[in-house]
Structure 1
Amino acid sequence: MRASRFLTPRRERLARILALAAWWGLVAHFAREVVRTRDANGDHLTATVVLAYLAAWCPVLALSRWSPAGKLGRFAACTASIAAGFAVVEAPAALGRIDYREVFHTPTPPWKRSGNLADPDLLFARKPAQRLTLRFQGSDLHGLRDAPATTYACDTTLDARGFRNPAGLDSAEVVLVGDSFVEGLQVADGDLVSARLAERIDAPVANLGRTGYGPRQELAVLERYAAGFGPRACVWFFYEGNDLQDLEAYEADRDRVRALRPESFKRAWYARSFARNAAGWLMRPGSRNGVPARERAGRLADATPVYFSCGVHEGSPDAVARRARPEALAKLRAVFDEAAAACRARGMDLTVAFVPAKFRVYRDLCRFDAASPCPAWPVDDLPGIVGGVARDAGVDFLDLTPTLKAAAKAGPLVYLPDDTHWSAEGHRVAAAAVAGRIGDRGRRDGRLTSAASRPPTGSTARRR
């Protein structure tokens, strides 16, 4: 009797509300603690949200005065509504029309990305004759906060081999081999180093560059594709920022690719799914926790800011002293030996062109903030070291560093201010340096006599 007097309808409603609030508060607290753990990832967040949703219903089902059928009906209706919403956004992923890994920029091995195919030697190849439409921000801004961001767009169509060439280019005087500097997704087709070189030498040039490739993959490209163009010369662009790292990682990555098995529909769909990739995006640290942009920015004489995510090595500055260790150079020498032999067998001249990191080119042209670590980043003599390895293998060597430094000092930016890659001007400067070297060799050897011997005609790809 006393209990019924104490537990009035109003107090009973208040008790239910407090119980619900306390329970939901506990659920939210534990969910937050789970996703804040150091090794939590998107899958943990997805599982936590599902469990939290079910847990949130527990007091509702336990304390409500609905009939059992009413409780089940309300739970089913709410759950079905949420599931229907997810079905709408997940259907394109299930059908393979949208890959949410690209939408949310989920870190993914290149051989598993949409538009690529796994390859036992190249690790991955691009699907042929596809249209690439990409939008991205400069890589030097990753991990920085308060930096103005520029969005770069690339809209290009690949050739029948999956490279960035005009349709129908079946023969070329020169082939270019390399990584993202040669593929040049940051610039338009007409601004590529291959297009600029074709204008300079008034002869067709084939672009066999591919983003993410290292020396071993580039050697495979040379052996598999270069001879088909019937070229007289091959120019191999070696990027100091990560090519030695790529060379070290190649064998392990090759083993992973060769061990791949066809994925089930369920596994492939989940990899592309909205839920997985949105959760992963939410779990990634945001720019609010990043390094202040001013600490990684150098200012040129005209106050233009140039951002640096790394020095001459894409990784810890401490690794610069160790990157040219003997075992790494021995692997590089083996690659150059094989490339030289392949070119000799096909009657091609081979030149290795050294691509310096942006920091090597701009360090002495920039003023840095007092709190910036950039001035203390070490700079080694990798151009001289790689040049020695190339010459020991009997390969011609062209260091692009002096040319790019001179152009950077004299005029427009040769690297993008917020990215590690060349600007359109950088592609033009590199093409001019390569054309000069090809012209010198052509006059000396009696080959490629058109190179740099007459003014450019504006043709980007004359077909033979």
Structure 2
Amino acid sequence: MARRRRALRLAAWAGWLALVYLGVKAGATAPDTNPEHLAGLLALGYLAAWGPFFVFSPHGAAGTLGRFALGTTAVLATFAAMEAPARLGLLDYREVFATPTPSWQRRGNAPDADLIYVREPNQRARLRYVGGDLYGLRGARPWKHYDRELATDSHGFRNPIDMDSADVAVVGDSFVEGLHVEAADLMTARLADLMGRSVANLGRNGYGPQQEIGVLKRYAMPMKPAVCVWSFFEGNDLHDLHEYDDHRKNLPRILDTRRSQSPYARSFARNSLAFVLRELIRPAPTKPADAHLGMFTDREGREVPFHFNSGIQFDVAVPKFPRGNSDEMKRVAAILAEARDVCRANGVELVVAFVPAKLRIYRDLCRFAPDSPCPDWPTDDLPDDMRRVVEGLGPDVGYVDLTPALRAAAESGEIVYLPDDPHWAEAGHRVAAEALAPELSRRFAQNIRAEPR
């Protein structure tokens, strides 16, 4: 009889806990569940899980409540210990759990009404990550783990020293800021060495054409450079036009830092639960890595796996291909015309540099699996389309298409783009500098300010 009661009790326990699990799971997998909802579900599930213990406990009311209080106190104490570093400002769990965070909310950055975000001045930080082309690829292996120092000047740019003046100012996005290589290997540092002139790096990750014209006005012109280089990346600069428009519509929320800087935003509970939702309960769809992998033979005969998962792709491109006569290109032309006028008014030479996507450089040099979609991704004549835009700005505006130089280096077996990321490798920065230097030197030869600073 006792054995039967024990079996019934265990069956009731198991059935109840199964119901609690299914209830929590149903709520957690709902499309609109967020970390706060999941926290509530887990709290209710925890309380519900104690139900059979209260019903079948042989310890009496006091003993049962005491054990419940002791167990709950232990759980709460554990969470309190995990939360303490965030509460004290010692740790940001957004970084621990790689929580997707807008640029203006990340540590070391601050929101800005015109540029959406800026980097804080005079900071030193170590950045650790894997290549961006691995995102969403199932079974992809990193080519390397990137560990780089970000050191900023008094304006938040990646320059080794503060620069009140410069011979050359280079405006651009992540290709110019170059967080995947050390500062000494940047294109701007290479240009300075090649030309024996001061070169200011005014690139910033995530910036698009509207922000770059803001950088040109706010930071480049006060440096009184002889030449300003404007880099245009074909992979996302046209898309960035729309992203900036969206950010401007949301500007009051972006500038309100109270929520993003709160202890709750940094908390263990919020970010750990967001990680569980993102990675375990509702993981994003993935694609097989092998289908997005091309094998490249380098100059030493080694087989290097190149991943292609960003850049000029059919599924992220704005506008649709071909892009040369699109509304977005017309907007870029208008922004470049404004940059030309600003430079003319300040006696500065303007040179536009076209930065091609990795796909344009390496696709024909790689071997793909028969079922790979990469060989069929669209390309167009955007380098020549941009050339025509620049020619329409007037003969005083220069144009350097970096595609031929990068392509020639790749054909010789050099790794100029990172195999697991859309950005330049160290060799890419060097090749870009070598391609730009002759045009800049020619401009200096024509400019009365020929003495290096």
Please confirm whether the aligned pair reaches a TM-score higher than 0.5, indicating the same fold.
yes
Alpha carbons 2:227, 2:443 under 8 Å: kept = no
CA RMSD in angstroms comes to 2.3
Deviation of residue 317 (structure 1)? Answer: 6.2
Separation in 1, partners of 2:443, 2:140 = 45
Aligned to 1:9: 2
Aligned to 2:351: 351
Alpha carbons 1:165, 1:207 under 8 Å: kept = yes
Aligned to 1:218: 212
> What is the aligned length?
444
Deviation of residue 333 (structure 1)? Answer: 1.8
User: Structure 1 stretches (4+) deviating beyond 6 angstroms?
Assistant: 286-289
- Please point out which of 180, 186, 189 is paired with 1:192: 186
Aligned to 1:254: 248
Aligned to 1:378: 378
Deviation of residue 243 (structure 1)? Answer: 0.5
Aligned to 2:294: 298
Separation in 2, partners of 1:398, 1:177 = 14
Deviation by residue 1:246-274 (Cα, 9 ceiling, x = unmatched): 11221220231234464557982222111
Separation in 2, partners of 1:98, 1:367 = 44
Separation in 2, partners of 1:17, 1:182 = 65
Separation in 2, partners of 1:295, 1:245 = 25
The residue type equivalent to 2:79 in the other structure is F
Q: Choose 238-247 or 146-155, whichever is displaced more.
A: 146-155
- Which secondary structure state, in structure 1, belongs to the residue aligned with residue 388 of structure 2? helix
The residue type equivalent to 1:335 in the other structure is I
- Please point out which of 149, 167, 174 is paired with 2:161: 167
Aligned to 1:20: 13
Q: Choose 307-316 or 113-122, whichever is displaced more.
A: 307-316
Alpha carbons 1:240, 1:313 under 8 Å: kept = no
The residue type equivalent to 1:333 in the other structure is A
Q: Which residues of 2 match residues 304-343 of structure 1 at below 5 A? A: 304-310=304-310, 312-313=312-313, 315-316=315-316, 320-321=320-321, 323-324=323-324, 326-343=326-343
Alpha carbons 2:93, 2:271 under 8 Å: kept = yes
Deviation by residue 1:367-387 (Cα, 9 ceiling, x = unmatched): 110010111111111112222
User: Which ranges in structure 1 are unaligned for 5 or more consecutive residues?
Assistant: 1-7, 452-463
- Which secondary structure state, in structure 2, belongs to the residue aligned with residue 162 of structure 1? coil
- Which secondary structure state, in structure 2, belongs to the residue aligned with residue 219 of structure 1? helix
Q: Does 1:35 align with 2:25?
A: no
- Which secondary structure state, in structure 1, belongs to the residue aligned with residue 250 of structure 2? helix
Separation in 1, partners of 2:316, 2:326 = 20
Alpha carbons 1:313, 1:357 under 8 Å: kept = no
- Structure 1 residues 160 and 264: alpha-carbon distance in aligned structure 2, compared to 1, 3 A threshold: closer
Alpha carbons 1:42, 1:283 under 8 Å: kept = yes
The residue type equivalent to 1:59 in the other structure is P
- Structure 1 residues 104 and 324: alpha-carbon distance in aligned structure 2, compared to 1, 3 A threshold: farther
Aligned to 1:459: none
Deviation by residue 1:321-366 (Cα, 9 ceiling, x = unmatched): 2655532122112211111111112211111101100000111111
Deviation of residue 227 (structure 1)? Answer: 2.1
Percent of aligned pairs with the same amino acid: 46
Deviation of residue 66 (structure 1)? Answer: 2.8
- Please point out which of 409, 413, 436 is paired with 1:407: 409
Q: Does 1:91 align with 2:111?
A: no
Q: Does 1:127 align with 2:120?
A: yes
Alpha carbons 2:295, 2:304 under 8 Å: kept = yes
Separation in 1, partners of 2:449, 2:371 = 51
The residue type equivalent to 1:87 in the other structure is A
- Structure 1 residues 274 and 425: alpha-carbon distance in aligned structure 2, compared to 1, 3 A threshold: same
Separation in 2, partners of 1:183, 1:311 = 17
- Which secondary structure state, in structure 2, belongs to the residue aligned with residue 284 of structure 1? helix
Alpha carbons 1:439, 1:450 under 8 Å: kept = no
Deviation by residue 1:409-441 (Cα, 9 ceiling, x = unmatched): 113200000000000000000011111110122
Deviation of residue 144 (structure 1)? Answer: 1.3
> TM-score, normalised on structure 2?
0.92
Q: Choose 193-202 or 311-320, whichever is displaced more.
A: 311-320
Q: Choose 389-398 or 191-200, whichever is displaced more.
A: 389-398
Separation in 2, partners of 1:61, 1:18 = 16
Q: Which residues of 2 match residues 46-57 of structure 1 at below 5 A? A: 46-57=39-50
Deviation by residue 1:273-305 (Cα, 9 ceiling, x = unmatched): 112112222222479963222210111234321
The residue type equivalent to 2:227 in the other structure is A
Deviation of residue 80 (structure 1)? Answer: 1.5
> TM-score, normalised on structure 1?
0.90
User: Which ranges in structure 2 are unaligned for 5 or more consecutive residues?
Assistant: none
Alpha carbons 1:439, 1:449 under 8 Å: kept = no
- Which secondary structure state, in structure 1, belongs to the residue aligned with residue 310 of structure 2? coil
Separation in 2, partners of 1:91, 1:315 = 43
Separation in 2, partners of 1:134, 1:281 = 20
- Structure 1 residues 94 and 324: alpha-carbon distance in aligned structure 2, compared to 1, 3 A threshold: farther
